[in-house]
Amino acid sequence: MGVVSQREPGPRIAVAVVTMGNRPAEVDALLTSVAKQNLAPSRIVVVGNGCPLPDFAERLGLPGEVTSIEVDENLGCPGGRNVALARLREFGDVDVVVELDDDGLLVEADVLRRVRDLYAADPRLGIAGFRIADEHGETQRRHVPRVGAADPMRGGPVTGFLGGGHALSMAMLAETGDWPAEFFFAHEETDLAWRAADAGWTILYVPELLLQHPKTSPARHAIYYRVTARNRVWLVRRRLPLPLIPVHLGVWIAVTLLRTRSVGGLRAWFGGFTEGLRTSGGERRPMRWRTVWRLTRLGRPPVL
Last residue of a domain, one of 216, 241, 274: 216
Q: What is the pLDDT of residue 8?
A: 76
Q: Domain ends where: 216, 250, 265? A: 216
Are 133 and 260 in the same domain? no
Do 77 and 131 fall into the same domain? yes
User: Are residue 60 and residue 20 in the same domain, yes or no?
Assistant: yes
Is the same domain home to 190 and 242?
Answer: no
Alpha helices in 177-298 (DSSP H): 188-198, 224-239, 244-259, 263-278, 289-297
Q: Do both 187 and 61 map to the same domain?
A: yes
CA distance 291 to 199: 9
If asked whether residues 100 and 228 sit together in one domain, one would say no
Same domain, 182 and 120: yes
Q: pLDDT above 90 covers what percent of the chain?
A: 84
**Which CATH number characterizes residue 51's domain?**
3.90.550.10
Query: Residues 4-18: pLDDT tens digits?
Result: 455 678 999 999 999
Do 129 and 185 fall within a single domain? yes
Give me the domain span that covers residue 259.
220-285
* pLDDT tens, position by position, 186-198: 999 999 999 999 9
Q: Measured between alpha carbons, how far is 183 from 203 in angstroms, rounded to an integer?
A: 21
d(Cα 21, Cα 54) in Å, to the nearest integer? 10
What pTM was computed for the model? 0.94
Do residues 170 and 262 both lie within one domain?
Answer: no
Domain count of the fold of the chain = 2
Looking at the structure, do residues 260 and 207 belong to the same domain, yes or no? no
Strands (E), the chain: 13-19, 43-49, 67-71, 96-101, 125-133, 156-157, 165-169, 202-212
